[in-house]
Structure 1
């Protein structure tokens, strides 16, 4: 009952917002958005980071156009999915099974599950490593020097802790309420902090004369394609890490679990732009520009072996 009242109030707010000019709607849409930020958090992971570093460090500014193009392709797909889901209220898998083909629906579901395992599970050890660093800096506790079973169990426990937090959030996401609002606000703040962090790196590099801004602008215009296998693989990785097939499967369910309907269709488009497109383009571009300024043309020989300590040199 409480959730129904919340959805009704939100619907009335959206109807009132629709009569306002676009610029006056944006702050309210930013406050009401949420599922798009969850998609942004899903895509801004290790795959996007490594691809962005490789694009800048190995190819300089030449391939800056790849990730905006990949996001354009992906967000068009999400626009279509959100419009169809919110217009009909039918769950994506059911719509695909009944109106396209059952075999394609099951292939979509299995591919989404497989990609979630491949991309998602690799982030738990990554998160454990980051937590280890945070605990070492904030509390002074570290097991880095004691290599062996003890440290492995410590990292495993941290990974399980992250998994439990993610599982709890996902399980209760559809209930709404204060906890979900806090979670979505935290994602927005963390996304903003990531953007500011890499923006500071680029500004600092530019102040030291490491950034060629004319080359940066030219890099957003497609002029050539790599003719080597590694270059083609990098482009395919960028296309694959922008909007994954698991994101296309999950997004519709996220919208329905939030109680969104036909009245939320315009909000869903702004939600994708504000929560996914803009953060992704800013973060990936800033990483690639910073990597190009720091590594491109150096004698480090980074292609195919961009190591964490080299990335840390940024």
Structure 2
């Protein structure tokens, strides 16, 4: 008897009805994907990797969401202020985060039910609807998108100015809003809506990699210092070091990333026979792009602005300081274009996350053709006000403070669900190392988020 046949939901088509966004996927396409996975399983790992790239998606979506304005600003500042010395922080942040992401792969493939619905059933509506869906998804997507829009519209202004066109962000914001809204609204539409959005995210990640790699070739890299920075932990003393570690760690992985992977996998119709693909997608689609792009950005700024005296502390200020140092080459435009992909993909991801969260809060059936889904997916576009207004710093601090508690409590909830035999049956976690890894991440996320808030309020360091 196969895993699918032993599933409590029965057939493949009955199983994917657990999350309606997968219903538009034709049966023959699902069967063809499963057949391709079976053929891949017979090959050695190096020959399976191209297939994982092609069939994966939720991991790439998560990487594109995580590599937002906050993550890249932290990487730019790290390189500009401390050179290669803090490269190891990205490894620590991702290394600890992998455990919970692999738990999401298990929930997606074996749990067969949206994780927020599992939470509500086992841990109550407050845990599921308030802490996870409202604070962890909707608030983060809506409030933090202000930073993405401000960065994206400013970058469009910088690129157009380099081409001799005056197109300030007060005028270019409709283009940013139209592109991100159109891509987000395409998610789940028709039989290939999920596939098209995943391709958009993959292409944007590829553009980031190629553009930042071009800059790194122009700038060069001190491999001795880079290797030392990767494997020898170092932080500056005092509040500056604490602030750096907090910014780099807290920006990496949290509730939104955990839940997004689960729902994105369910939207692809993933089930028991997709677990190996889901786990590979965590490594290849999520972790690898995050680590490579963070590494390149830190190294570019380490090779240019490090030891250059006072450096700006904002993403736009840092990019404007970097561009002249790239010389009269295409590298400066490559950097700006690659950097523009960062807020674009994050806004798209946050729009989808917001719609998922709101539908779970109110118990609505997700239907991408309905006005309700479209309204929910467009809610984060309120951040287009960021083209004229500064980011709502006070609100961001309040939401971050709430997330400090949310990350910890929601993390414990997922940990308990993963180990609950009533919920997961024989698919529950039986690995001591896996459980310890999840608890380390939950504890670290809670600590760094709380320290970040206290630091911003002047109560720490």
Judged with a 3 Å threshold, the aligned counterparts in structure 2 of structure 1 residues 213 and 251 are, in CA distance, closer, same or farther, namely same
Which of 4, 7, 11 is matched with 2:34 structurally? 11
Give me the whole-angstrom Cα distance separating, in 2, the residues matched to 1:232 and 1:303.
Answer: 19
Matching of residues 41-80 of structure 1 within 5 Å: 41-80=64-103
Correspondence for 1:168 among 185, 209, 219 = 185
Q: Which residue of 2 aligns with 1:116?
A: 141
Checking the alignment, whether the CA contact within 8 Å between 1:125 and 1:155 is kept in structure 2 is no
**Alpha-carbon distance between aligned partners in 1 of 2:26 and 2:279, rounded to the nearest angstrom:** 23
Range moving further from structure 2, 97-106 or 244-253: 97-106
- Contact between 1:82 and 1:251, CA under 8 Å: does it hold in 2? yes
Q: How does 1:20-35 map to 2 (within 5 A)?
A: 20-35=43-58
Q: Give the superposition deviation at 1:62.
A: 1.4
Specify the SS of the correspondent of 2:87. Answer: coil
What is residue 311 of structure 2 aligned with on the other side? 302
Question: What are the residue-to-residue correspondences of 1:58-207 with 2, within 5 Å?
Answer: 58-105=81-128, 106-112=130-136, 113-132=138-157, 141-144=165-168, 152=170, 154-170=171-187, 172=189, 175-177=190-192, 179-206=193-220
| Aligned pair partner of 1:253 in 259, 263, 268 | 263
Paired residue for 1:311?
322
Higher relative contact order (CA 8 A, sep 6+): 1
- Distance across 1 between alignment mates of 2:314 and 2:199: 36
Q: Distance in 1 between matches of 2:245 and 2:214?
A: 26
Task: Give me the whole-angstrom Cα distance separating, in 2, the residues matched to 1:165 and 1:201.
Answer: 30
1:110 Cα deviation after fit = 2.4
Rounded to whole Å, the distance in 2 between the matches of 1:163 and 1:305 is 23
Deviation at 1:92, TM superposition (A): 0.7
Structure 2 runs not aligned, ≥5 long = 1-23, 327-461
**CA gap 1:181/1:134 in 2 versus in 1, 3 angstroms:** farther
Q: Deviations over 1:237-284 (max 9, x none)?
A: 111221232111221111111111111111111112222211111111
- SS of aligned partner of 1:84: helix
In structure 1, runs of 5+ residues without a counterpart are 145-150
**Alignment coverage as a number of residue pairs:** 298
Q: Could you tell me how far 1:171 is from its partner in structure 2?
A: 5.4
State the partner residue of 1:290. 300
For the aligned residues, what is the CA RMSD? 2.4
Determine if contact 2:183/2:197 at 8 Å carries over to the other structure.
Answer: no
In 1, Cα distance between the equivalents of 2:66 and 2:173?
23
Q: Is the 8 A contact 1:124 1:162 kept in 2?
A: no
SS at match of 1:20: coil
Equivalent position SS for 2:237: coil
Distance 1:66 1:170 in 2: 33
Structure 2 residue aligned with 1:273: 283
Q: Answer yes or no: is the 8 Å Cα contact 1:60–1:292 preserved in 2.
A: yes
In structure 2, how many angstroms separate the alpha carbons of the residues matched to 1:13 and 1:278? Answer: 23
Distance of 1:80 and 1:108 partners within structure 2: 16
Q: Tell me the secondary structure at the aligned position of residue 217 of structure 2.
A: helix
Alpha-carbon spacing, 1:305–1:15, altered in 2? closer, same or farther (3 Å): closer
Which is further off, 227-236 or 120-129?
120-129
Indicate conservation of the 8 Å contact 2:104/2:262, yes or no.
yes
Q: Do the aligned partners of 1:125 and 1:156 also contact (CA within 8 Å) in 2?
A: no
